[in-house]
Structure 1
Amino acid sequence: MLTPHRLLAQTEMDAHRPAAEIGRLLVEMAVAGLLKLNRAVTVLDDAVRAGAHASVWSILTEALPALLPAVGERARAGLGDLLAVGARVAALAGARRGRDAARG
């Protein structure tokens, strides 16, 4: 039976999917050298200022783990700025521990 609580949870999951896909695409493009992270930072910062905290948080929860360097590797140019956006938006989105904590 579809309860209001389940319907709300499903709606939140469906709303998260496009942002998560953007996060995956951001990683693919950065790894392929098609996107400079500083340009993504500018766009994501603009989205945060426009009030899209939850969407930006969903994008970054998908992208940041994949963009972090392995032990002994150098960080990509712009990663520090992307992490800074992540820190700001995590606070604004009310993020807690765990990958999807911003969604409750």
Structure 2
Amino acid sequence: MKRIKEIVFLHKSALRFLHVTSIGNQLSIEQIKNREFLKDYFTDTTYSFHTLKEKKLDVAVQHFVESCNLDMIVMVAKNLNFLERILFRLKVEKISYHTSVPFLVIHD
């Protein structure tokens, strides 16, 4: 988180936190605690939280990138299967942010 904060301050950026959920799912207690931690940690930063209801995580990320005109995606690598789907799927050319938006993965 320290590196993310440094990047945000260096470039005077805003953060957009995305939670992707299946229809009808609510945040777990752990996710609520994580959201509160992020609010406290990034108090000196412009940020917002977003939720997308989508069955496919990679599709949700693509829609979010397109709708928010993002300059960079930062992800904490907890789920290697998700990263493999995003980075190594057969039809990579269909995901436009692969070539237009930097993708920083931070190991948890």
What TM bracket, shorter-length normalisation?
A: under 0.3
TM-score by length of 2: 0.27
The structure with the greater share of residues assigned to helix is 1
The structure with the greater share of residues assigned to strand is 2
By relative contact order (CA 8 Å, sep 6+), the higher-ranking structure is 1
TM-score by length of 1: 0.28
